[in-house]
Amino acid sequence: MTAIAKRPRAAVPKKETGRPRAAAAGTPAPGSTSGSTSGARPDPRRRVLDAAATCFSRNGFHGTSMHEICAQAGMSPGGLYRYFPSKEAIIIAIVEEERALRASCVEMLETAPSFIEGLSRMGDALFSGEVPMMCLKLGPEIYAEAARNPALKPTFDAVEDEMNQAIRRCFVAAQERGEIDATLDPDTVLLVIGAIGDGLVLRNSFEPDLGLAGLMPALTSLIGRMLAPAPAAGTPRTVSPEEKS
């Protein structure tokens, strides 16, 4: 009788306690990666994009092979091609990925006390690296490739147009508030301002130590003077705080 009574008691704990204890401890099942973060490598897609940016910056778009990107990313060709079938696909992904970063720049412009102050904040954030836009580093390469590559141009144009239209709305609103000369054509002015920015990025590719962030006070002052409303005849011109900086 005693032996019979002991058998079920020994069997019950084995079935009831083994699984709940493993679940409570949060131990993943064999083959599962959930809950495991220590020593985890970056997302493979992210590794490819970062590696490609490094290679494109160093060797140019056409001077970089997929093999070099694989080596930089520490990934086999099969692994890379699983995510990106070509270099064009990588560039398109870089441009698409930065839509959210561009939106954050536009938000700085929209929430600033003035259009000029908003431009200053955007420039500081971009040129200081606070907003880490890969396209800023690869600007000349991406522009050159978008100009001649029909696979890339539609995506590049769409992303550029989104940002340009958002900046234009802010510009027109500033004109309506009286901050900017109402006689200025928004499209012409924004084309000129964009060309200045593109030129600085290109110059920085030749002179990496140029220090674009340090140029923002002077650039902001110049643009502020360009856009300021013309004073009425006989009225002294008022200098804005942005222009004084």
Tens-place pLDDT, residues 50-86: 999 999 988 988 899 999 999 999 999 999 999 999 9
Polymer length in residues for the chain: 245
Token pair, residue 231, equals: 């004073």
| Topology annotation, domain 44-85 | Arc Repressor Mutant, subunit A (1.10.10)
Average pLDDT over residues 163-179: 96
Q: What tokens appear for 158 in the block?
A: 């769409």
Query: Is domain 96-228+238-244 given the CATH code 1.10.287 in the classification?
Result: no
**pLDDT tens for residues 18-58?**
443 443 333 333 333 333 344 456 689 999 999 999 999 88
User: Model pTM?
Assistant: 0.71
Q: Using alpha carbons, list the distances in angstroms from residue 77 to 43, 80, 88, 179, 224.
A: 16, 5, 16, 55, 51
136-140, 195-199, 203-207, 233-237, range with greatest mean pLDDT: 195-199
> According to CATH, where is 1.10.10.60 located in the chain?
44-85
Which part of the chain is CATH 1.10.357? Answer: 96-228+238-244
